[in-house]
Amino acid sequence: MCGRYTITVSLEEILRTFSVDDVEYDYSKQFNIAPTQTVPAIVEWEGRRALQGFKWGLIPFWSKDTKIAYKTINARAEGIDKKPAFRHLLKGSRILIVSNGFYEWKQENEGKQPYRFQLESRGSFGFAGLYDIWRNEKGTEIRSSTIITTKPNRLVEEVHDRMPVILTGDTACKWLDPDLSETRHVLE
């Protein structure tokens, strides 16, 4: 599970790292991003990439209200293509949720201890994510997202049994590609 994360790099680094064309989000560094906050994410439409804001906690378009968002901050990669809230989003609603570190907690004698994980470069990366657009009865839209999680790598498994799917370079580009039909190999 990913319950908190950071994005503390400059906007210029994000634009350069992910070849962003348009900025449609009022970016500022954030050191403790929590569920239900609006977070920076990258979408690709018609060959252009945009940095936009999405509420963290997916609200499927078919939901009656926004309460489900607390239960859908993360989506397990295993079986994601079978879950009603996520399966239809794999085809054309993929995003990169921008980050440069995430927290996991480990139970120790003194209580829970947070650990922050980063790339060795300390640079930015993208979490594999999905988004949906929900509308209330008045037509107001909420763009919301979920972070896809997977089994932990050797470093994270000492602290937690899940971690976000981290994408960089070509893999991040593939995830955003609207023509990508088979997502399983990107999520593994």
The residues annotated with a catalytic role in the active site are 2, 104
For the four alpha carbons of 174, 19, 119 and 121, in that order, the dihedral sign comes to positive
DSSP for 50-72 reads EEEEEEES---TT-SSSGGGGG-
Alpha-carbon distance values, 59 to 33, 47, 56, 63, 72 (Å): 18, 26, 9, 7, 8
